[in-house]
Amino acid sequence: MQAIVLSVGTELLLGEITDTNAQYISARFRDTGIDVYKRITVGDNLTRLTAAFKEALGSSHIVIATGGLGPTDDDLTAQALSSALGRSLEFHEGAWQGMLPWFKRGGRVPAESDRKQAMVVQGGFPLPNRHGTAPGQAVLVGKGLAAILPGPPREMVPMFEEEVLPLVKEKTPGLVPLARLELKLAGITEAKIGETVRDLMECANPSLAPYAGALEVRLRIAARGPSPEEASAMVSRVEDEVRRRLGDFIYGTDSDTLESVCGKYLVKTGATLAVAESVTGGLVAHKITQVPGSSRYFRLGVVAYHPSVKASCLGVPEDAAAGNGGVNPRVARAMAEGVRAVAGTAIGLATTGFAGPGGGTPDEPVGTVHTGIAYEGGSDVDRQVFVGSRATVKEYGAQRALHVLWRYLRDLK
Amino acid sequence: MQAIVLSVGTELLLGEITDTNAQYISARFRDTGIDVYKRITVGDNLTRLTAAFKEALGSSHIVIATGGLGPTDDDLTAQALSSALGRSLEFHEGAWQGMLPWFKRGGRVPAESDRKQAMVVQGGFPLPNRHGTAPGQAVLVGKGLAAILPGPPREMVPMFEEEVLPLVKEKTPGLVPLARLELKLAGITEAKIGETVRDLMECANPSLAPYAGALEVRLRIAARGPSPEEASAMVSRVEDEVRRRLGDFIYGTDSDTLESVCGKYLVKTGATLAVAESVTGGLVAHKITQVPGSSRYFRLGVVAYHPSVKASCLGVPEDAAAGNGGVNPRVARAMAEGVRAVAGTAIGLATTGFAGPGGGTPDEPVGTVHTGIAYEGGSDVDRQVFVGSRATVKEYGAQRALHVLWRYLRDLK
């Protein structure tokens, strides 16, 4: 069963907004066992939009369009679908009644132009919108269906999940979802991974594909089988083999992050954590506190941006902070030890470096990040030099600090 | 002059990655005066990719494709372009020579399969890749051109800027760029803005369109005129009128952020800043330190996540911190005053609240964010209740804190 996704809006063609809807629908169809084989983006132009619908309806069972459902003259999606199908638009009293509470809530009287949003293609039916005014609509076409959904993701996503996916599943019994698993790796490059598992990457089913991110690589394993159980078993066999070869670098799966995995270790061991940041400017603390329940183990973050603060708040010796503008391994270590002492935690983690664009010395150029980690009876320092913008150095530096923390927690006995 | 953008890659159709290339190219063409009138996404399938090229070449002067230039069997973009044009692929010695340093740098000997990446469509020419192995290529076709570029944005963007845009401009003299300006507003909803400037939004040229973000709204003004000067003048007239009606809410333009605008005020006045965060967990400090040169005014951030730290590091009175789990206006004020005193800065900014999903009290539910600001001779507190995930509450809370800071700095005499 094949699908085409149609994204509608001149703002997309102007590059004003990112099209997250098409990606969302693609991923959900992938999970469901439906192939999206083409995506089309067109502007708010009736002729082109109608042509795009005709093309999609002529080549695919399932056509999902997003955007262009509002009350203004350049909202043309329903009209284009009606032209492409050669069916008229009809005022739908139920759709209209569903919109009225939204006008009331917004404190305005519906205008004549608003009635346009309740026009439904003949033979189709409205899809209720629980998060905005404009309803969507769906039309069964032969063995498939066409659906048009609002553009704002907060309206589109629930409508897709609650209305469209159930319809699609009903129309296409026997779908075998793609089995998939993502392994998350840190501390190894995409190239090195490629060398290690090239033979597995050459197989089409199960497939293995790497996606490089910020100091981490996602390895996606996917399989289609005659049954969900067999597809899962195919994925598991590849997973086992990848873990055998690359296990030391795998920190988690799917939605795991370094900070969420560290959080699990910290909860399990009962250890507490404090962080002192210079170069990463609060980003390490921000990442750690994105994890629900992080207040159970995270006690204190100090962003010691001014040299005097490194001494006064963290007790970094002034002679250490003097060298290379406060960027050296001794400072990283002293910051980690200092914040651990101030907060009274089991672990102290610290970053210092130069994010740029200014600063840097011959020994410690822009992009340098030292990570210090202090714990009962010891401490370590890690040094990296990253290339990129200020934002990149901060992002990579924070990821590296979390990687240092993860390695320490993983290896705890 | 019209363009079609073609995004190539099964990973796009599977929803594995976001297509930022198509948006980037769309925005740059918009700025240059070229209309992108359709975007197409297809997978690594020769038949479909060739059909997409034929469709694009048949309907548009400029065709830009990204992705599918690598050495593996499913990298098919050059082959598809050659089929669509009915021209052969030829080995290009210059392209090959340009690739060799990349193999050397990666420490590997080029394989026979790598030569594929130096195959150029007859009559076309390679586009050098300064950031990766695979060169791009361009072919002049009639009055227009087709170009194929690598998928990774760090390779695609420089090639587009340095090679493709100059070619496009050379082929299409007399382009009149779209004149545009974005006004950034905070402290007002999109709906309220709509009510205030509805009459201006009804005009097609110059056009005015709002885009809602996290606690801010971007208002884009755009105009096409017979000359760049006249288009700019049209934009300025709308800008003046919007400023007259909404000036109090406009904090900047285009790439300005609340933190960059606050930074300019702080540099100008010589004032220094310290931040104490609970609910936002380091995000306010992270945003502030994203601004180059922020070390000139930002001294210290304290992420006081544990109640005891609010007292020990910031001097928050224990009886204040006891009420509602440390979430109340008194604590926000005391944190702002405390961090200002510890760091010896002109201004102290602080947040406390409940990010969720756990926590919250009847008086201070999940989503509550108190922002305190302390300065010479006074202090203020702001209270908001946001609805959304933990990440949303942190993001909105941080934006609100920066908004409170911006209002204070703007109103300084």
- Maximum pairwise Cα distance, chain A: 81
Task: Give A151's contacts in chain B (Cβ within 8 Å).
Answer: none
Q: Which two tokens stand for residue A255?
A: 């939605």
In the DSSP assignment, the letter for residue A413 is -
Distances (CA, A) of A106 to A103, A110, A132, A306, B387: 5, 10, 10, 48, 18
Q: Nearest-CA distance from B75 to chain A in Å?
A: 13
pLDDT in tens, chain A (413 residues): 799 999 999 989 999 889 999 999 999 999 888 999 999 999 999 999 999 999 999 999 999 999 999 887 788 999 999 999 999 999 999 999 999 998 887 777 888 888 999 999 999 999 999 888 899 999 999 888 999 999 999 899 999 999 999 999 988 888 888 899 999 999 998 888 988 999 999 898 999 988 888 889 999 999 988 888 999 999 999 999 999 999 999 999 999 999 999 999 999 999 999 999 999 999 999 999 999 999 999 999 999 998 889 999 999 998 887 777 789 999 999 999 999 999 999 999 999 999 999 989 998 999 999 999 999 999 999 999 998 889 999 999 999 999 999 999 999 86
- B413 pLDDT above the threshold of 70: no
Nearest by CB to residue B286, choosing from A281, A294, A306, is A281
Q: Are B290 and A16 a contacting pair at CB < 8 A?
A: no
Residues B225, B227, B228, B229, Cα dihedral to 10°:
-100
Q: Nearest-CA distance from A88 to chain B in Å?
A: 26
Reduced to 3 states (helix: H, G, I; strand: E, B; else coil), residue B89 is: strand
Task: Give B39's contacts in chain A (Cβ within 8 Å).
Answer: 7, 12-13, 39-41
Cα B130 to its chain centre, rounded Å, is 23
Q: Match 């800065």 to its residue by tokens.
A: B345
Question: Rounded to the nearest 5 degrees, what angle is found at the Cα of A41, between the Cα atoms of B169 and B193?
Answer: 90
Q: Which of A337, A338, A319, A315 is nearest to A328 (CA)?
A: A319
CA–CA distance, B132 with B98 (Å, rounded to integer): 10
Task: Give A292's contacts in chain B (Cβ within 8 Å).
Answer: 356-358, 390
Q: Are A18 and B23 a contacting pair at CB < 8 A?
A: yes
Phi, psi (degrees; rounded to nearest 5) at B302: -125, 120
Q: Match 């570029």 to its residue by tokens.
A: B149
Nearest by CB to residue A285, choosing from B293, B300, B303, is B303
Question: Rounded to the nearest 5 degrees, what angle is found at the Cα of A330, between the Cα atoms of A329 and A333?
Answer: 85
Helix pair A77-85, A46-59: axis angle to 10 deg: 50
Q: Contact A29/A3 with Cβ under 8 angstroms?
A: yes
- Shortest CA distance from A220: residue in chain B: B16
Sheet holding A207-212, edge to edge: A207-212, A216-223, A179-186, A250-253
- Shortest CA distance from B18: residue in chain A: A23
Q: Contact A239/A197 with Cβ under 8 angstroms?
A: no
Nearest by CB to residue B286, choosing from A19, A48, A282, is A282
Q: What is the pLDDT at residue A353?
A: 96
In the DSSP assignment, the letter for residue A360 is -
The secondary structure of A283-323, three-state, reads HHHHHHCCCCCHHHCEEEEEEECCHHHHHHHHCCCHHHHHH
pLDDT exceeding 90 applies to what percent of chain B? 76
In the DSSP assignment, the letter for residue B164 is I
Q: Are B290 and A342 a contacting pair at CB < 8 A?
A: no
SS3 content of chain B, % helix, strand, coil (to 5): 45, 25, 30
- B346 pLDDT above the threshold of 80: yes
Q: Nearest-CA distance from B30 to chain A in Å?
A: 6
Q: Are B292 and A358 a contacting pair at CB < 8 A?
A: yes
Q: Which residues make Cβ contacts (< 8 Å) with residue A343, sequence separation at least 6?
A: A272, A274, A299, A300, B306, B309
Q: Nearest-CA distance from A325 to chain B in Å?
A: 12
Q: Nearest-CA distance from B391 to chain A in Å?
A: 6
E strand or H helix at B179, and its extent?
strand B179-186
Q: Contact B355/A293 with Cβ under 8 angstroms?
A: no
Phi, psi (degrees; rounded to nearest 5) at B111: -90, 165
Q: Which residues make Cβ contacts (< 8 Å) with residue B279, sequence separation at least 6?
A: B327, B351, B352, B353, B354, B355, B369, B393, B394, B397
Q: Which two tokens stand for residue A100?
A: 């009225």
Q: Are A14 and B28 a contacting pair at CB < 8 A?
A: no
Residues B347, B340, A353, A296, Cα dihedral to 10°:
-120
Task: Give B23's contacts in chain A (Cβ within 8 Å).
Answer: 12, 15, 17-19
Domains and their CATH numbers in chain A: 2-171 (3.40.980.10), 179-253 (3.30.70.2860), 258-411 (3.90.950.20)
Q: Are A38 and B356 a contacting pair at CB < 8 A?
A: no
Task: Give A343's contacts in chain B (Cβ within 8 Å).
Answer: 306, 309
pLDDT digits (tens, 9 = 90+) for B300-319: 999 999 888 999 999 999 88
Q: Which two tokens stand for residue B276?
A: 């104490």
Nearest by CB to residue B20, choosing from A18, A39, A357, is A18
Q: Match 């043309």 to its residue by tokens.
A: A76
Q: Where are the alpha helices (DSSP H) in A202-343?
A: 228-246, 258-269, 283-288, 307-314, 318-322, 329-343
Q: Which residues make Cβ contacts (< 8 Å) with residue B43, sequence separation at least 6?
A: A37, B8, B9, B10, B12, B13, B49
Q: How far apart are the first and last CA of chain B?
A: 51
CA–CA distance, B393 with B279 (Å, rounded to integer): 8
Q: Nearest-CA distance from A299 to chain B in Å?
A: 5
Q: Are A390 and B290 a contacting pair at CB < 8 A?
A: yes
Sheet holding B216-223, edge to edge: B207-212, B216-223, B179-186, B250-253
Q: Are A13 and B39 a contacting pair at CB < 8 A?
A: yes
Q: Nearest-CA distance from B344 to chain A in Å?
A: 10
Q: Are B294 and A302 a contacting pair at CB < 8 A?
A: no
Task: Give the strand pairing for A273-277 and B273-277.
Answer: unpaired
Task: Give B109's contacts in chain A (Cβ within 8 Å).
Answer: none
CA–CA distance, B210 with B217 (Å, rounded to integer): 7
Helix pair B190-201, B228-246: axis angle to 10 deg: 140
Q: Which residues make Cβ contacts (< 8 Å) with residue A290, sequence separation at least 6?
A: A257, A259, B281, B390, B391, B394
- B321 pLDDT above the threshold of 80: no
Task: Give B40's contacts in chain A (Cβ within 8 Å).
Answer: 38-41
pLDDT digits (tens, 9 = 90+) for A298-312: 999 999 998 889 999
CA–CA distance, B291 with B306 (Å, rounded to integer): 28
Within 10 Å of residue B277's Cβ, how many Cβ atoms? 32
Q: Are B39 and A12 a contacting pair at CB < 8 A?
A: yes
Task: Give the strand pairing for B273-277 and B298-304.
Answer: parallel
- Shortest CA distance from B343: residue in chain A: A309
In the DSSP assignment, the letter for residue A108 is -
Nearest by CB to residue A285, choosing from B45, B281, B309, is B281
Count Cβ–Cβ pairs < 8 Å, chain A vs chain B. Answer: 230
Task: Give B390's contacts in chain A (Cβ within 8 Å).
Answer: 290, 292
Q: Are A38 and B211 a contacting pair at CB < 8 A?
A: no
Q: Nearest-CA distance from B248 to chain A in Å?
A: 24
Q: Contact B226/B175 with Cβ under 8 angstroms?
A: no
Q: Nearest-CA distance from A147 to chain B in Å?
A: 18
Q: Are A11 and B300 a contacting pair at CB < 8 A?
A: no
Q: What is the pLDDT at residue A413?
A: 65
- Shortest CA distance from B56: residue in chain A: A40
Q: Are A303 and B25 a contacting pair at CB < 8 A?
A: no
Q: Contact B387/B367 with Cβ under 8 angstroms?
A: yes
CA–CA distance, B271 with A73 (Å, rounded to integer): 50
Q: Are A305 and B301 a contacting pair at CB < 8 A?
A: yes
Task: Give A301's contacts in chain B (Cβ within 8 Å).
Answer: 277, 281-282, 301-303, 305
Q: Nearest-CA distance from A358 to chain B in Å?
A: 8
Residues B144, B150, B152, B153, Cα dihedral to 10°:
-30
pLDDT digits (tens, 9 = 90+) for B92-142: 999 999 999 988 877 778 888 889 999 999 999 999 998 888 999 999 998
SS3 content of chain A, % helix, strand, coil (to 5): 45, 25, 30
Instruction: Tell me the mean pLDDT in the region B10-33.
Output: 93
**How sure is the predictor about B73, in pLDDT bands with cuts at 50, 70 and 90?**
confident
CA–CA distance, A92 with B57 (Å, rounded to integer): 41
Q: Are B15 and A25 a contacting pair at CB < 8 A?
A: yes
- Shortest CA distance from B306: residue in chain A: A299
Task: Give A396's contacts in chain B (Cβ within 8 Å).
Answer: none
Task: Give A73's contacts in chain B (Cβ within 8 Å).
Answer: none
Q: Which residues make Cβ contacts (< 8 Å) with residue B18, sequence separation at least 6?
A: A18, A20, A23
Nearest by CB to residue A300, choosing from B16, B20, B306, is B306
Q: What is the pLDDT at residue B66?
A: 98
E strand or H helix at B197, and its extent?
helix B190-201
Q: Are A39 and B304 a contacting pair at CB < 8 A?
A: no
Q: Are B220 and A16 a contacting pair at CB < 8 A?
A: yes
Q: Are B30 and A12 a contacting pair at CB < 8 A?
A: no
Q: pTM for the whole thing? A: 0.88
Within 10 Å of residue A167's Cβ, how many Cβ atoms? 16
